[in-house]
Structure 1
Amino acid sequence: MPGTPTTRRRTAAVLATATALGVALTALPASAAGLGDPYFPDDGDSGYDVGHYDVRIAYDPARTDHLDGDTTVTARAVRALDRFSLDLKGFTVASVTVNGTPARSFSRSGEHKLVVVPAQRVARGATFAVRVTYAGTPDAEGWHTLTNGGANVSGEPHSATSWYPSNDHPSDKATFALTATVPDGWTAIGNGLPGPTTTANGTTTFRWREDRPMATYLGTVAVDRFTVHRAQLPDGKPVITAYSPDVPIDAATEAAQPDVLAFLASKFGPYPFSSAGAIVVGESKSPGRGAAALETQSRPTYIGALYDEGVVHESAHQWFGNSVSFTDWRDGCIAECFAQYANQLWEEHNGADLDTGFYPHVVAENKDNPSFWSTKLYDPGKGKELAPALYFKGSLMLHALRRTVGDDAFFATLRRWTADHAYGNASFPQFEALAARVSGKDLKGFFDAWAHGTTLPAEEYLYPGPLGNR
């Protein structure tokens, strides 16, 4: 395939994902309704591979029901395209151009599809740029208005469609640039590294750039009268932490962020991104806000406060879920199981004995509770893609795996995983195969019981190795 090695890898990954999902590319209709994810079949478009998003927005907290957007999506066609779709909820779309030429037509389809017919067919393998200008009320699924008029974006599995047009599936990752214009006195925080800040006509424009490929739901912007603290990791990477005015500033937890990242790097491999930090926002006017934190890439978002457990969990996601992302939404365990187990590793680092504390206590509490074991960790089912089992049963599974294969093989597997799939996508079955290969053990029975089973694992898998000496 033409293009750079990185582009070829991404294009190959899209093709492989479509094949794995049972999507016959040659048989897809020209409108390409979706990538065919088993849980969200309408998400994304298999006809192209995005390389970069350039998202430009303007937001005035005095007008919380309005956002102006101007987004350019640069992509490579996987096949010849007479039409293609982007995912975007709501908004009035004013114009669409493809390679600078007005589209022949653009129209809405379903809940979140913007279908574009270019003036000329896009040839297979060609790079093309789609520019969409739009305005209106951002969708509350991902865009959350804060009580003081500020706003922030967070949400999983969907949030990108609330504020910019995208190929909204985690298998199509891309670099990301944000330009956000807000009134003077307000600050816009995004992913990655900050760029130049400029002022004009009573407004300030902030620029951010994430230089590593990012899944769409991990992109963010937050607008508030932030207090911004800056520090550095030992290698000089910036640590940028922003606090809304109505949240406490926890200096100790903020200062611990580099230590947490250094500890996780000792277990998982080098920290994968060019910056770190946190966005800590206040209460939202949006109903059903959801999780207290989200692993927005390089700069996790926290609701209400920065707290130790959250920092460990969301930081671990930078390796598990962000650098190595889902192949599709059946793969939630490759993010949540590992991020939750990171909390146990941090407790162990601070003196806890997981073999006599965490593991036997959680097993004992739930041994006679069938519902605790009833959700599969791989392919848990639509609507359960982020089920509690992925966190709690998943963390137990990883400790049992560690005791099955031994520390050397277990942590070698984690480091190999994050290195082999860095900045790409992988599936939980691939992790199963890697763990067996690195350990030299037959782990089929183990993973059948833990990841694919819906009942209490048999004793040999529940109490392996040292865990059996009860």
Structure 2
Amino acid sequence: MRSIPTTRRRTAAALATATALGVALTALPASAATGIGDPYFPDDGNSGYDVGHYDVRIAYDPARTDHLDGDTTVTARATRALERFSLDLKGFTVASVTVNGAPAKAFSRSGEHKLVVVPAQRVARGATFAVRVTYAGTPDPEGWHTLTDGGANAAGEPHSATSWYPSNDHPSDKATFALTATVPDGWTAIGNGLPGPTTTDNGTTTFRWHEDRPMATYLSTVAIDRFTVRRAQLPDGKPVISAYSPGVEIDAALDAAQPEILAFLASKFGPYPFSSAGSIVVGPATTPSRGAGALETQSRPTYKEMISDEGVVHESTHQWFGNSVSFTDWRDGCIAECFAQYANQLWDEHKGADLDTGFYAHTVADNKDNPSYWSTKLYDPGKGRELDPALYFKGSLMLHALRRTVGDDAFFATLRRWTADHAYGNASFPQFEALAAQVSGKDLKGFFDAWVHGTTVPAKEYLYPGALAALAGR
């Protein structure tokens, strides 16, 4: 394995060599840098290949927060013959690109985030090839967040990966992931999946992590800080590894409750899908408005400054809905957010709440005469609304109505079938609709038309199905 401590020196040397040799950085045809075809983000992703694995190696010094050195190898299979192809990467100075060990004939930047590569030899259709990119510079703040103490973390949806490594940045192209991160002694780097060997060299420490289940690029992460790391186990022995930035309050009871929460969710959704679990709780960022309050980074969700039981239930549910079973494209936000939000209602029910007379009755009463509450479609809500609040709130309500329409047995059987049938892959909400109808044996077209594809309050028969009918006169 290559040793990351030399990355900074290697990148600087490569930059000088590229300048001296005049590596071709000429403009290339736009056809080499078109996106994968997402209706909301047409420039995202790249066609012509499927990524199998990312080997991301970075070096970061908290004394120099505006700089990151990277050395990433992307291993992929060509789905057509490739005379040129592109990767997604924002910013940075690219020092070198090799394809299967040979220097690229040319590479250039195109648009906001395309790195276009012309290999020395055409890549044959069906061939596996490895693209190695060395680069350095300032990470883009859309996905890379500098912490006030000099630490950093990578997180963001729908985009974050392009802020720190070259990738095929679309959820439909999932891949396994290895991270090697070198930081000064005394600092810790946390990533997805399981930890590997940690080594020290000349005042630096190198941390290794690997996620061996396919992962969408926006779910990859690294967090660097002087972390307090706590460890526990799930009942099946899988490790629960949680990291807390300095100054972040550690809720010992909630930290200890993570295995209980995951076991409860597994009882509803099927076995926990990944090799490890836990949390990353980072301190305040230098630009507080940047980044979400929490994100379901695969196997180890990231939280900003604090965790709560609601947050842990929501982000943990994403490990099944959104992470193991990922979007086909960004119209499919409901297959993640609707379910993660409803999981909080399931947790409340587990603790004794009556969802019919509490959550459902109160939410409908508060919003029945509020047209804006119902105006967003849950599938294909529209460009710029891919993570609209309606997916969380109207979506959670929709799932409870579906549960009362088909009954508990069919509802939870559908959830377990969904997570099993599409494990580690991609699926769309229309596929979920078809599965729910198949498992329940009911015609659910009217229900889904009203709740998912409609933009007004559902008709009474869909708003108050089954046991909820008793609420209709309220």
Aligned to 1:320, the other structure's residue is in SS state coil
Q: CA deviation at 1:393?
A: 0.1
> Counterparts of 1:14-53 in structure 2 under 5 Å?
31-53=32-54
Structure 2 equivalent of residue 88 of structure 1: 89
Structure 1 equivalent of residue 23 of structure 2: none
The 8 Å contact of residues 30 and 81 in structure 1, kept in 2 or not, is answered as no
The 8 Å contact of residues 232 and 240 in structure 2, kept in 1 or not, is answered as yes
C-alpha distance in structure 1 between counterparts of 2:435 and 2:204, whole Å = 52
Q: CA deviation at 1:92?
A: 0.1
Structure 1 equivalent of residue 313 of structure 2: 312
Q: CA deviation at 1:290?
A: 3.6
Q: CA deviation at 1:64?
A: 0.2
C-alpha distance in structure 2 between counterparts of 1:47 and 1:460, whole Å = 47
C-alpha distance in structure 1 between counterparts of 2:322 and 2:381, whole Å = 17
Aligned to 1:336, the other structure's residue is in SS state helix
The 8 Å contact of residues 85 and 113 in structure 1, kept in 2 or not, is answered as yes
Q: Work out whether 1:131 is the aligned partner of 2:132.
A: yes
Structure 2 equivalent of residue 228 of structure 1: 229
Structure 2 equivalent of residue 394 of structure 1: 395
The 8 Å contact of residues 30 and 83 in structure 1, kept in 2 or not, is answered as no
Q: CA deviation at 1:140?
A: 0.1
Q: In structure 2, what residue type is equivalent to 1:197? A: T
Gaps of 5+ in 2: 1-28
Q: TM-score, normalised by structure 1?
A: 0.93
Q: CA deviation at 1:31?
A: 1.0
Q: CA deviation at 1:306?
A: 1.6
Structure 2 equivalent of residue 353 of structure 1: 354
Q: In structure 1, what residue type is equivalent to 2:77? A: R
C-alpha distance in structure 2 between counterparts of 1:409 and 1:106, whole Å = 53
Q: Work out whether 1:321 is the aligned partner of 2:329.
A: no
Q: TM-score, normalised by structure 2?
A: 0.93
Q: In structure 2, what residue type is equivalent to 1:367? A: K
1:353-390 deviation line (CA, Å, top 9, x unaligned): 00110001001111111111010000000100000000
Structure 1 moving runs of 4+ over 3 Å? none
Structure 2 equivalent of residue 171 of structure 1: 172
C-alpha distance in structure 2 between counterparts of 1:365 and 1:161, whole Å = 41
C-alpha distance in structure 2 between counterparts of 1:258 and 1:139, whole Å = 35
Q: CA deviation at 1:288?
A: 2.2
Structure 1 equivalent of residue 410 of structure 2: 409
Structure 1 equivalent of residue 213 of structure 2: 212
The 8 Å contact of residues 75 and 128 in structure 2, kept in 1 or not, is answered as yes
Structure 2 equivalent of residue 370 of structure 1: 371
C-alpha distance in structure 2 between counterparts of 1:379 and 1:345, whole Å = 26
Structure 1 equivalent of residue 147 of structure 2: 146
The 8 Å contact of residues 33 and 116 in structure 2, kept in 1 or not, is answered as no
Q: Work out whether 1:449 is the aligned partner of 2:419.
A: no
Aligned to 2:385, the other structure's residue is in SS state coil
Q: CA deviation at 1:246?
A: 1.6
Q: Work out whether 1:195 is the aligned partner of 2:196.
A: yes
C-alpha distance in structure 1 between counterparts of 2:191 and 2:366, whole Å = 41
Aligned to 1:76, the other structure's residue is in SS state strand
C-alpha distance in structure 2 between counterparts of 1:458 and 1:288, whole Å = 40
Aligned to 2:336, the other structure's residue is in SS state helix
The 8 Å contact of residues 59 and 66 in structure 1, kept in 2 or not, is answered as yes
Q: In structure 2, what residue type is equivalent to 1:187? A: T
Aligned to 2:32, the other structure's residue is in SS state coil
1:329-373 deviation line (CA, Å, top 9, x unaligned): 000000000000000000000000001100010011111111110
Q: CA deviation at 1:291?
A: 2.1
Structure 2 equivalent of residue 108 of structure 1: 109
Q: In structure 2, what residue type is equivalent to 1:205? A: T
The 8 Å contact of residues 30 and 82 in structure 1, kept in 2 or not, is answered as no
C-alpha distance in structure 1 between counterparts of 2:245 and 2:424, whole Å = 30
Q: In structure 1, what residue type is equivalent to 2:205? A: T
Structure 2 equivalent of residue 469 of structure 1: 470
Q: In structure 2, what residue type is equivalent to 1:379? A: D
Q: CA deviation at 1:292?
A: 1.2
The 8 Å contact of residues 274 and 299 in structure 2, kept in 1 or not, is answered as yes
- Percent sequence identity over aligned pairs: 87
Pairwise CA RMSD: 0.9
Q: CA deviation at 1:410?
A: 0.2
Aligned to 2:148, the other structure's residue is in SS state coil
Gaps of 5+ in 1: 1-27
